[in-house]
Amino acid sequence: MAQALLTENDFYSMPAPSTPARPSVRPHRPILRSPRQRVRLGFVPLLDSAPFTVAQELGIFVRHGLEVTLSRELGWASIRDRLVHGGLDAAQAPAPFVYRLRAGVDGPPCEVFSSYILNSGGSAITLSTGLRRQGVRTAADFKRHLRSKHPDRPVVALSSLHSCQMLLLRQWLDPGEIDAASEIQTVVLPAAQMPAALQAGHIDGFCVSEPWNSMAVAAGSGWCPATSLHFPPLSPEKVLLTRTAFADRSPDEHAALLRAMDEACQWCEDPQNRPALTDLLSGCPWFQELRLSLRPALLGPFDCGDGSRLAPRDLLRFHGDGLNFPGPEKAEWILSSMRQANLLPASHTRHEGAFRPDLFEEALGPALMPAPTDLPSARIRHA
């Protein structure tokens, strides 16, 4: 599969964003001065890949002594294949990929783990406005629609079956007692193709990370009955997925990578930096025509297309409140959710080694965890 590689020259030829304030990050461990090798990082161009662009463009990788090659991948299958075959050292990946690759669900097993969670939220289910005109508002309405005089199964697109989007879709369907396996036809599409496929009537909906939901809402072809707020607060969305062989061979580089990603995620979280982040991402080749679609999740409000609106902090978060810490309760939530969705073999029941809070704390110090009452609540603001 052809790969679109992003070099340092590509980044430094982009328009410079407005000057951002440097974030106040956690106290650093000693910065790596002489890396033994260049680190190869992969990402898929979604809004929640922003920390990779920020770390490269604002010189955060360099400040932490890292030489990084960023590789823009076409989709999650490419991320999977390049991790399995050693073409990448680490990558942005859906949280369920940790278990997918370790179990060898659809290929050879690969020793990977995650010691850093990149973001929480940022995804939504988008259905066609045609379904809304036919009375679909909730999962219960969708159930009545499926069991009326409409014999064709609705087609819903996902960028991967092993993703938080699949978990979100199933969680929304479950109260309506809809069997996703038999009553919904799921297809895998690259995220960038979903809005056009919806507008052309090739699919009836999709579930994906931003900005593609906002693009469909702005075009008038879609609306969002559910977002990541259906998940528990601070649930993992994307993680930094690392090959064990790389971390064993280059522990200093791995620790420096965690520190760099933590600084980039904290910069992305700061509301004062969001305008500069929007400018920066708008200059990337893959987002150049999508500036207006970047704004809802970054600057707000996020328009669900049905009169409901969300604040950016409610929809997409990159840092804070223990969000980035790969604790055992998050590992167990992902594992149990995958088992319930039949995305893992029944024999795969343990999460030990898949998430490494010990390496997080070695690189960044003890995690600052909030009290339960301090967790942000899910709330929807109506226009």
pLDDT at 370 (0 to 100): 53
pLDDT band at 3 (very low <50, low <70, confident <90, very high): very low
pLDDT at 368 (0 to 100): 66
Lowest mean pLDDT among 38-42, 229-233, 280-284: 229-233
- Give tens-digit pLDDT for 89-128: 999 999 999 999 999 888 889 999 999 999 999 999 999 9
What is the average per-residue pLDDT within 315-327?
95
Is the pLDDT reported for residue 382 higher than 60?
no
pLDDT band at 148 (very low <50, low <70, confident <90, very high): confident
What is the average per-residue pLDDT within 63-88?
95
pLDDT at 258 (0 to 100): 98
| Residue % of the chain over a pLDDT of 70 | 84
pLDDT band at 31 (very low <50, low <70, confident <90, very high): low
pLDDT at 98 (0 to 100): 96
Is the pLDDT reported for residue 27 higher than 70?
no
pLDDT at 32 (0 to 100): 52
- Give tens-digit pLDDT for 173-230: 988 888 888 889 999 999 999 999 999 999 999 999 999 999 999 999 999 999 999 8
pLDDT band at 28 (very low <50, low <70, confident <90, very high): very low
Lowest mean pLDDT among 22-36, 72-86, 265-279, 289-303: 22-36
Comparing 370 with 233, the larger pLDDT belongs to: 233
pTM confidence score = 0.86
Is the pLDDT reported for residue 33 higher than 90?
no
Comparing 34 with 297, the larger pLDDT belongs to: 297
pLDDT at 1 (0 to 100): 36
Lowest mean pLDDT among 146-150, 228-232, 296-300: 146-150
Domain boundary assignment for the chain:
4-120+234-382, 123-230
Is the pLDDT reported for residue 133 higher than 60?
yes
pLDDT band at 30 (very low <50, low <70, confident <90, very high): low
What is the average per-residue pLDDT within 144-159?
86
pLDDT band at 17 (very low <50, low <70, confident <90, very high): very low
Domain at 4-120+234-382: CATH code: 3.40.190.10
Domains 4-120+234-382 and 123-230 belong to one CATH topology: yes
pLDDT at 154 (0 to 100): 93
pLDDT at 12 (0 to 100): 29
- Kindly state which CATH superfamily the domain 123-230 is placed in: Periplasmic binding protein-like II (3.40.190.10)
HEC per residue, the chain: CCCEEECHHHHHCCCCCCCCCCCCCCCCCCCCCCCCCCEEEEECCCHHHHHHHHHHHCCHHHHCCCCEEEEECCCHHHHHHHHHCCCCCEEEEECCHHHHHHHCCCCCCCCEEEEEEEEEECEEEEEEHHHHHCCCCCHHHHHHHHCCCCCCCCEEEECCCCCHHHHHHHHHHHHHCCCHHHHCEEEECCHHHHHHHHHCCCCCEEEEECCHHHHHHHHCCEEEEEEHHHCCCCCCCEEEEEEHHHHHHCHHHHHHHHHHHHHHHHHHHCHHHHHHHHHHHHCCCCCCCCHHHHHHHHCCCEECCCCEEECHHHHEECCCCCCCCCCHHHHHHHHHHHHHCCCCCCCCCCCCCCECHHHHHHHHCCCCCCCHHHCCCCCCEEC
Is the pLDDT reported for residue 34 higher than 70?
no
